[in-house]
Chains A and B, each alone.
Chain A
Amino acid sequence: MLFNSLSFIVFLAIVLILYYSNIFNWTNRKRMLLVASYLFYAMWNPPLIILLWISTIVDYTAGKKLATVDNQKQRKFWLLLSLFVNLGFLAFFKYGDFLLENFVAIMNGLGIDFQARPMDIILPMGISFYTFQTMSYTIDMYKRKIEPARSFLDFALYVTFFPQLVAGPIVRAKELITQFYEEKKATTEQFLWGLFLLTVGLFQKIVLADTLLAGTSDDVFGTNTVLHSLDAWTGTLAFSGQIFFDFAGYSTCAIGIALMLGIILPDNFRYPYAAIGFSDLWKRWHISLSTWLRDYLYIPLGGNRHGITRMYAALVITMLLGGLWHGAAWTFVIWGALHGLYLVIERLLRNRIHFKINTWNGILLALLTYTCVNITWVFFRAREFAKAKSMLASMFGLNDGEKLLQSFDIIKVFTVITLLFICHWAMRNTSMKAVSKNTSPLTLGIIWAFLFVLICIAQGSSEQFIYFQF
């Protein structure tokens, strides 16, 4: 079920009515949320709930054993079992075809005539999110960082909680399970702020991503013709805006919906396109994934504890795998590799160049960061290297290509992206909540109405969120 759909409006209304009616005690309300979450997932593909169940049962059992068993070998066994099941699901469902394709390519490269039919495996929605979430639980249990879930119901709800089930934020057990222990009800202020966030998120998705940017991005990346420089840049900028509004929109909706239930989810985006440098970017973009990768990959790989070379290697490996997390294609690996390279270059420069960041050089550095990010988006969006190569050649003026876009599309994209950048820069060191607190109720009400009316006028055709495929 998509947040930007009529069925979700009805679903949410029913859940809220049941949640706030007095017919259930807290345990039964949690049961109701769990059933609702399974229904939310099943509306897409019912049989794939079985994967969720397996993941839940295995990780709950592993967590329980890790809490009670002291024998190190046995503890390792339970951790490995959890990792094997979750990573096994990912390997099979997400990377099965990719691995097969590459195996065939290697065989053929070695002169062995080997052909294999693609397995055409269906990718379970949100598998990368919930497997990472449940793995964080067992890893933290193994490291004795957290207490085990108090009940199977609490754990199952942690894995399946519908607002963040299919596209995050990837929430750690200590941040979410503990909230299920005590009865939760949103205050009126929380409920309305959640509703406001839901409106903002839907506006980002339906109006900004789908209506204003997606068409241009799809046209540019969908054509086989060599493009004029302006068209290539417009398409790339459109995609940079589209993916931000799409994903940040989802996270904002998720946070808002959870808040309407009295549950607090962590921020996932903090105005990333105003980032100064790439370390800053990854503190602002998909925060729940970047902190996951930091805690469960970068630090175990050595982090910055074993010298510079090992640190750079850990950084690049983390980003390569982060790229692969996004999709089973080499273009995503290159996307991750570029980010790893940017991070390495930034750290090298930071050790050599020292200056104070003020408003003006800050804006220039943020623009430079954003430009470099756009180059990585080309690999992220292009399905093939040939397309990425052609796009980059066009962007750097090496192609005398065809004009594909109309003047209005170019103006539209540049206007939205300029406003996006200004907004991110202005909001860089603050938050929507802080700004709203200093805004008069009338102004906030007018803005709220403006967003809502535009959502209704834009309608949209329930386009799927980009990150669902990851």
Chain B
Amino acid sequence: MQLKTSFLIALTISVIGLISWELYWRSQGYEPTLDDNKHLWAVERAKVDKLSSDDVILTGSSRVLFDIQLDEFEKVTGIRPIQLASAGSSPLPIFHDIVEHTNFAGTIIVGVTPPLFFSTTFPQAGPWQRPQKRVDHFHKRTYAHRLNHWLSVPLQQNLVMMSGHEEDADENIDLKGLLKRLKLPERTGKPQYPAFFEFGTIDIDRNMRMTEKTVSDTAFANIIKNAWKFIITSKGPAPDIEGTTKFFVTDAQKFMARGGNLILLRPPSSGMFKGGESQFFPREQLYDQLVKATGAKSYHYEDYDQLRDMICPEWSHLSGEDADTFTRVIAEALIKDNALTKSNL
């Protein structure tokens, strides 16, 4: 065997192959991005244990993730919040984890996206399972997990081919993602989830911002809208309003009893989402009742002239520019109301 020759041939082909692969995907418009995965989330969650009562945690679904811009929030309040919101998730498991497994007694801003907030407490349901997996990962992560994440960050930030997503997304260019693109005739007779692409970029402390493409390319935004339409119109279990409210109120009371400052935040939606939410999750019967039951402070976008008519390019999240405005208005209101301090309790 002439293994040295084989090795040199393999090395040469691999280097040429991987460089070509990287350049090809860049030529297709791909850019290196961080993945909003469980490891990135766990790094932020770990910071909670070191927070003081003057600090702020954000949690909720993707709307809080997109709509609260950390730089803007910090500019107005002087506090950089910890972003623990999770896309496609009920905020209940993460809030429960903070209440049960930390002594944090500062401010938690919980984003309320009604279809997710009031969805379920069933552990196997997607909106519960997704955030719970992150919580479980945080509690079980090993030193190897931490080191792997730490090593993967520069690769994700600099190489398109290393920028895969934990969640299945149609733009994934790892082998699994590429194989997923091969479509053969449908066999199961069940409705198939339409194409879905990531429409935001996240940075190292989980500040998510909508991409310019989503704002300016209406065809792309329509692909996302189509996915939302599929979710909204699909048959699913009825929301568990009573169960979710009861679960959250119990945790909220426990949190506030130890001196925690709870703020509920309702970010905007538009189009089909807004219509569906107004019809099936009316504010007076759900959100307002939740505020009353918890005794938490409340910030609802409809209560602010600048926010009331905001348009979400894909019906559910704000563009980067509008997210800055939304954050500024809410942060200023928080300061004005002295809502971030416990003296107001």
Contact = CB atoms under 8 A, between A and B. Distances in A.
A345 interface: no
B188 A403 contact: yes
Contact of A441 (B6, B148, B179): B6
B176 interface: yes
Interface stretch (A3-11, A302-310, A380-388): A3-11
Contact of B152 (A6, A45, A405, A448): A6
Given A189-B3, A441-B9, A445-B9, A43 B175 contact: no
A461 B175 contact: no
B343 interface: no
A398 interface: no
Interface string A200-239: 0000000100011001000000000000000000000000
A406 B186 contact: yes
A95 to B, nearest CB: 22
A208 to B, nearest CB: 11
Interface in B218-249: none
Contacts, number: 133
A458 B184 CA distance: 22
Interface residues of B, number: 44
B257 interface: no
Contacts of A192: 3-4, 6-7
Most buried by A among B4, B161, B179: B179
Given A7-B147, A43-B142, A457-B174, A445 B8 contact: yes
Given A189-B3, A445-B5, A449-B13, A43 B143 contact: yes
A43 B147 CA distance: 9
A411 interface: yes
A188 interface: yes
A193 B161 contact: no
A411 B182 CA distance: 12
Nearest to A2: B144
B187 A407 contact: yes
Interface string B1-35: 11111111111111001100100000000000000
B184 A462 contact: no
B183 interface: yes
Contacts of B182: 408
A406 B187 contact: yes
Given A43-B142, A445-B10, A458-B174, A407 B164 contact: no
A446 B1 contact: no
A452 B4 contact: no
A72 B3 CA distance: 53
Contacts of A6: 147-148, 151-152, 155
Most buried by B among A1, A42, A404, A436: A1
A436 B5 CA distance: 13
A402 B190 CA distance: 10
A219 to B, nearest CB: 11
Given A437-B1, A457-B21, A403 B9 contact: no
B10 A412 contact: no
Contacts of A410: 187
B10 A405 contact: no
B74 interface: no
Given A453-B14, A458-B174, A442 B9 contact: yes
Contacts of B179: 211-212, 408, 412
A211 B176 contact: yes
Contact of A406 (B14, B148, B155, B184): B184
A195 interface: yes
Contacts of A212: 179
Interface string B130-174: 000000000000111101100110010000011010100000011
Contacts of A407: 184-187
A449 B151 contact: no
Contacts of A404: 188
Contacts of B12: 449
A456 interface: yes
A414 to B, nearest CB: 13
Given A404-B188, A405-B187, A449-B13, A441 B174 contact: no
A134 B12 CA distance: 43
B166 A196 contact: no
Contacts of B166: 461
A454 interface: yes
Contact of B175 (A45, A211, A444): A211
B78 interface: no
Given A407-B187, A453-B21, A457-B21, A441 B5 contact: yes
A459 interface: yes
Nearest to A402: B188
Contact of A457 (B11, B144, B161, B183): B161
B13 A462 contact: no
Contact of B148 (A195, A411, A462): A462
B153 to A, nearest CB: 10
Nearest to B189: A403
A192 B179 CA distance: 32
A371 B63 CA distance: 51
A456 B161 contact: yes
Contacts of A441: 1-3, 5-6, 9
Nearest to B184: A407
Nearest to B162: A459
Contacts of B183: 408
Contacts of B143: 42-44, 46
Given A192-B3, A193-B3, A449 B9 contact: yes
A442 B3 CA distance: 10
B182 to A, nearest CB: 6
Nearest to A443: B6
A455 B8 CA distance: 18
13 contacts: A6-B148, A7-B144, A43-B142, A43-B147, A192-B3, A196-B3, A406-B187, A408-B179, A441-B6, A457-B21, A459-B161, A461-B166, A462-B145
Interface of A: 1-2, 5-7, 10, 42-46, 188-189, 192-193, 195-196, 207, 211-212, 215, 402-408, 410-412, 436-437, 441-442, 444-446, 448-449, 452-454, 456-459, 461-462
Interface of B: 1-14, 17-18, 21, 142-145, 147-148, 151-152, 155, 161-162, 164, 166, 173-176, 178-179, 182-189
- Listed from nearest, the 9 A-B pairs whose CB atoms lie closest are A445-B9, A448-B10, A449-B13, A441-B5, A458-B175, A43-B144, A192-B3, A407-B184, A445-B6
Given A43-B142, A449-B10, 6 more contacts: A44-B142, A192-B6, A406-B186, A410-B187, A441-B6, A459-B175
